[in-house]
Amino acid sequence: MRTLIAILLALASAAAVAQDKTIKILVGFPAGAGLDAMTRLVADRMRAILGQPVVVENRPGAGGQIAMSALKAAAPDGQTLVMTPLVTVVTAPHVFPKLPYDAFADFTPVAHTADFLFGFAIGPNVPAKTLAEFVALVKKEPRHGNYASAGAGSLPHFFSILFAQTAGINMTHIPYKGTAPALTDLIGGQISSFMGTASDLAAQHRAGKLRILATSGAARARVVGDAPTFKELGFNIEGAGWYAVYAPAKTPKETVDRLSGAIVAAIKAPDIREKLEALGMEPTGLGPDDLARIHKMDYDKWGPVIKASGFKPD
């Protein structure tokens, strides 16, 4: 009996210590975009569910690779996670031959949080009102063929390549370290166009500071219903992205299950779901097994597309 009591007391003490430890969620892109907003919503709800401090730390740069490298180096104790778009684990492995991590071996899937669509936007000073007019403009004045994305090797980057190839125009990619600085330059006239998540473009589109000419889904994006899809406009291209949470490799299953349960519960909460939908996202709230399946499926899907594009990193 004394031994049993001692074990129970030790377990209770360990649980109390765990609850005192801060969980850090890394975001590999600057604050101010939809990914950052979603991460902070989830972190706030996780605090309440787990009874544990949860903080968000932005580590922008290299298309999310800096944050993923930090996750790889972190202890597999459940205290360091990353919320990332699929770029770091789906497209980057096909693009960068010397990626500082293995997208499958170095990380443990925790939760799939949301899907999102892309939007193609032009700045207020670009003399075009429709996608057809923009294509004609670039053919006539190639200087308008510069376009930005939140990072080289991102899915919006490759979707832009598909668009350019389909439209028969030459476009020059200008990678940025995140969406916010790219939108600043788009609105200011330093760049002509931008391909990014529809949710990140919606507010400025509604305010008239930029114009979304097309979105990437099979159906129109909920957040910008006035913008047609590429397919509606005669361009036979379609694509979508997603956000997910990963932990370091070898994180214990019970720890992963605990964190996943809290994240999924947060995503499925009606108030958070409503806020994410307002940001243009489609909340999913799927666990580790579903995330692992989706990760592998999209990795296999986009590999041939990226290879066929001929893109090589600088």
Query: What pLDDT was estimated at residue 305?
Result: 83
- Write out pLDDT tens, residues 185-206: 999 999 999 999 898 899 999 9
Give the confidence band of 240 by pLDDT, cuts at 50, 70, 90.
Answer: confident
Shortest CA distance to 56 belongs to which of 33, 86, 87? 33
Nearest CA to 34 out of 263, 242, 246, 240 is that of 242
**Confidence (pLDDT) at 313:** 78
CATH 3.40.190.10 fits 117-224, yes or no: yes
List pLDDT tens digits, range 138-162. 999 999 999 999 877 778 888 998 8
Return residue ranges of the chain for CATH 3.40.190.150. 2-116+240-309
The CA distances from residue 80 to 14, 131, 156, 161, 163, in Å, are: 18, 43, 27, 35, 37
Would you place residue 11 in the very low, low, confident or very high pLDDT band (cuts 50, 70, 90)?
very low
What fold does the segment set 2-116+240-309 form as a domain?
A: D-Maltodextrin-Binding Protein; domain 2 (3.40.190)
Residue 63 three-state SS? helix
What's the pLDDT tens digit per position in 289-309?
999 999 999 999 889 888 877
**What stretch(es) of the chain map to CATH 3.40.190.10?**
117-224
Measured distance CA(116)–CA(97) in Å, rounded: 27
- Residue 19: predicted pLDDT: 57
Q: How many CA atoms lie within 13 A of 66 on its CB side?
A: 14
> Could you read off the pLDDT of 12-59 as tens digits, one per residue?
444 444 556 999 999 999 898 889 999 999 999 999 999 999 999 999
Closest by CA to 159, choosing from 263, 70, 230, is: 230
Show the tokens assigned to 272. 């958070």
Query: What whole-number distance in Å separates Cα of residue 260 and Cα of residue 66?
Result: 23
Q: Of 289, 300, 306, which is closest to residue 109 (Cα–Cα)?
A: 289
